[in-house]
Chain A
Amino acid sequence: DTGVSQDPRHKITKRGQNVTFRCDPISEHNRLYWYRQTLGQGPEFLTYFQNEAQLEKSRLLSDRFSAERPKGSFSTLEIQRTEQGDSAMYLCASSLSRGLAGKETQYFGPGTRLLVL
């Protein structure tokens, strides 16, 4: 068990550029979550995957955001035409769901800190 990893750890970009982040969950975890954390706030849910299917997206996830989990393993989060308001820490978490509601534990990665200039 090597934990959840995220790449890159830091990203600085100019407004209007596209960025892509990667998350590698704990192996065999079937659920993968993305959260966003702005300075001084707790993380907020963005979206989640059950295996390769994206089952829910928050209203926080504008049309400029897209997430994929093509083979049910790693996931990518892409932000197109970045804006300064996108500056935040993007956190990934994974869990193993055995169908017992409320019993799963989400394990978080270290996050990708994005700064849009």
Chain B
Amino acid sequence: AQSVTQLDSHVSVSEGTPVLLRCNYSSSYSPSLFWYVQHPNKGLQLLLKYTSAATLVKGINGFEAEFKKSETSFHLTKPSAHMSDAAEYFCVVSIIQGAQKLVFGQGTRLTINP
């Protein structure tokens, strides 16, 4: 079965320092992987997606993620955190059975310290 594990429930960094949000996946075939961000009282917004093209995926707002098959990981990074990055981040794997059902991780809450 397809699943994702987000290794940290809460990450706290200082503004201007790098961000690393960790995600491991389990999939019986080549997966499609996504990172979504959820700001309070707002909908989920797609940051980036991997669909078997380039292993280094660039997303919006300076985020990127690298697909590492050998490590079954899809960690999200950003070189320099901004206060507006504070939010809940979800790593997601898709199950393709007819339609594309998304399986979400538990989420990582990112806090940015001034």
CA distance A35 to B100 in the complex (A): 13
Q: Say whether A42 contacts B96, CB under 8 Å.
A: no
> Whose C-beta in chain B lies nearest to the C-beta of A9?
B41
Q: Say whether B99 contacts A91, CB under 8 Å.
A: no
Residues in B neighbouring A40, C-beta threshold 8 A: 106-107
Residues in A neighbouring B44, C-beta threshold 8 A: 43, 91, 93, 108
Interface size of B by CB at 8 A reads 26
Residues in B neighbouring A48, C-beta threshold 8 A: 99, 101
Given contacts A42-B107, A43-B102, contact A107 B46 (CB under 8 A): yes
Given contacts A41-B106, A41-B107, contact A110 B99 (CB under 8 A): no
Interface assignment of A31: CB less than 8 Å from any CB of chain B: yes
> What string of 1s and 0s marks CB contacts (under 8 Å) between B90-105 and chain A?
1010101111111111
> What string of 1s and 0s marks CB contacts (under 8 Å) between B77-114 and chain A?
00000000000001010101111111111110000000
Residues in B neighbouring A28, C-beta threshold 8 A: none
Residues on A lying within 8 angstroms of B by beta carbon are 3-4, 31, 33, 35, 40-45, 48, 50, 55-56, 91, 93, 95, 97, 101-111
Nearest 10 pairs between A and B by C-beta?
A42-B104, A108-B44, A102-B32, A110-B43, A108-B43, A45-B101, A101-B96, A48-B99, A43-B104, A42-B90
